[in-house]
Structure 1
Amino acid sequence: MKNLTKLFLFAALTFVGLSTANAQDKNNPWAISIGVNAVDTYPVYPPDNRPLTGGFPDEYFNVRDHWNILPSVSTLYVGRYVGAGFAFGVRGSINKIDQMGDLPVDDLAYYSVDGMFSYSFRDALFGEGGWFDPYLGGGGGYVFIGDMPSHGTLNGTVGIKFWLSDNINLDVSSTYKHAMMPGTYYTRHMQHVVGIGFAFGGTDTDGDGIYDDEDECPETPGLPEFNGCPDTDGDGIKDSEDACPEVAGLPEFNGCPDTDGDGIPDNEDACPDVAGPAATNGCPDADGDGVIDSEDECPNEAGPASNNGCPFADADGDGVADKDDDCPNVAGPASNNGCPEVDASVLEVLNGEAGRILFDTDKATIRTSSYETLARIASIVKEYPTASFEVEGHADSRASNAYNMDLSERRAQSVVDYLTSKEGVNASQLSIKAYGEEQPIAPNTTAAGMQLNRRVKLTLE
């Protein structure tokens, strides 16, 4: 009796000091329990003055007057979890009977072996896990009491396990054992057990508290919410699905951070600490020229990558870079490689000037009065360095046509020679064409008309 009281006190103190725990289940399928048992025949022993029910459960807790207790470890249970809350186990017990009902007896030896199927209500009532584990059991056994005939029993059990840790429980139960042999009704009895149980057999290779059969990462410590897989950076994304498992990040970036908040995760961002567009891999490009600022020699002025992000020089401001401009100092359209184009108005000016170039009769020598005119013509031609001009030579009708053809050619050549040698015009821009007397612009019947026909003219080739 004293030992039983101590065991109850120990269990109560331990229960108060510990928190929620696991239980015997598929992870810890094996269980063993040792404890103290008490045999009580009074609530089911029928004296003559009571019905066959024995007044059950009359004086059920009358420990002092009716319980038979062997003050030592007197019961051993071994069981295995079957599944879905069911377990099967075998219990062996010894005791010494000195009270049977109200009758004293002479310390009868008591031995029993019982097999029991039990069902735990813990998960059904409270959800998976928890420290409070009520159960019901049923089965049969065999009893030996002193010199009385040994016999089988049909058993029913009510019990509660209090889980004190992952693997340790306090087990309190009461079992009614119904004698199955005729004439042995007096051996019907209650057996009460208080024991300490141990659940074992589960394998947890990585020691994370999640057994291998439920652990998706059995060799790496992990978390219950990820079925035993780790989340090293603690960002709520398990490492196997985390593109950046060592650094906390965001779900939208598969667990990678976006330090600069530019919408590009750091693992894809060439400049993770400075916001920039996706087009430049997350690096800033202030002038939008496609060259990131750190590599742009002109970060605030757009320019091509081939020129380190700086614009090419355009001295004449015509929009054609000097490197592509055939006339870098004279504005012109890109269609003419940056050079000005000769239009009708320019030709009109040229030929107005050319009309003032005068030649003496039957000579190809330019009069000195025409030198200023040739200088003006040269300045105009130089404005169009890519243009090619044809200098036409013409004559009046005096002399033969063959002679006039030769004369007009020499006059055209005189103009070309003067423009190239005296005025510095590029010779490649000029060519000559002789027309003789074939294209008069005035009648050859007067001296004035013939003077007009002795002329040169510039046209575009």
Structure 2
Amino acid sequence: MKHLSRFLVALLLVVGFSNVKAQDENNPWQINIAVNAVDFYPTNDMEAAGITGKWFDEYFNVGDHYNILPTLSSISVSKYVGDGFSVGARGSVNRIEKYGDVKVEDLTYYGFDALIKYNINELYDMGKFDPYLEVGGGYTWVDDIGAGTVNGGLGFNYWFTENIAFNLQSTYKHSFEDYLAPHFQHMAGIAIKFGGKDTDEDGIYDKDDACPDVKGLPEFNGCPDTDGDGIEDSKDDCPDTAGLAALNGCPDTDGDGIADAKDDCPEVAGTAAMNGCPDADGDGITDAKDNCPNEAGPSANKGCPWTDKDGDGVLDKDDRCPEVAGVAENDGCPPIPRMTEIEITELDNLARTVYFNSGKDSFKQETYEILNKIVELIKGFPAEEFTIGGHTDSVGSDSLNQKLSEKRANAVKSYLESKLSNKFTAIGYGENEPIASNRTRKGRAQNRRVEIKLVKN
């Protein structure tokens, strides 16, 4: 009973060690509960030659060398401190009946050790298989005689779940005192991880908290719902104003199914097509912008129906002459006058009587009367377009005649443009298009001419 009391003291020291710091770190604590076996044989103990063996001799000879207390006889607690390292402490108790190859009296064994572990998965991730190295030191008593030890060990956890694992470990404990022999201590048991950091103090550990820096609610994995509408802030388009789930947490004051933030008329029920505003006449124009809200009309007429004041079948919006009846072909204006064949022939005949001073592009005096008659004839047809062609006889060089024909055509064009708004195009043909023989004076006179042609649209 005395030894059991000492073990309980050691156990309390372990638990006390685990509470030196509050559980406020990101990574969990770990507690190991195990059965331990003590083996003095494979230690190469020179002081006990003939009783113990060389290093690792009969290392797995459980029946001849292992001292096992058939109950949970070891407990340890460790804390992860970063970069793969953990620190902790272990308490253990046993009953010694085998010292190497020698049977001994029933001796009590108990120990208390501090430990430093390095998790090999920090370097090589092996999944559920979690090996580690351990070093440390402590104090071990055998039948009330104790000594300090330096320890080194190797073990692994195999995690069945996120928090529970099977644990197996072997540790060599070396004492520099003659009255405590070096020995191996093996442990097999269960490892349990627990604890964690809760930065935002919402009762949810950071490792399980989707929003570890902001206080939240368990139903949202630690994330907040500021407006209390049952929608977590990260999924709430209006996190500061209570709203509806169907509208991603935003309110709908007028109940038209359109969130206020997207509703151009949040106080008056409307339609989605009108961004939440009403359209009483259904013409696609909101009532607020419709000059005739109860009578359908196009937006181009501010929501009112189109009119046709002059009754010519062309709506006022398309009618260039809305007060005067016209035709559709002229955008609602009266028909555009067009030259007849008689007028075209008359124009052609007048153009042929346009005379220039010899070798020049200036008009003879009597030609102005002809030009004015042409102006009077064309004036009644403002929409017509004309081509003015200049021609010469063959006297002189081709280049000279070409230039002269162009100048004469442009002289007629300039005169007509000064009197009329019609469009005129001047072209010089030189001597290339004669209408009579250039071998006779009469023929050459006919070839020296101007032609005004109607451009047919």
Larger Rg belongs to: 1
Instruction: Compute the TM-score of the two structures, normalised by the length of structure 2.
Output: 0.47
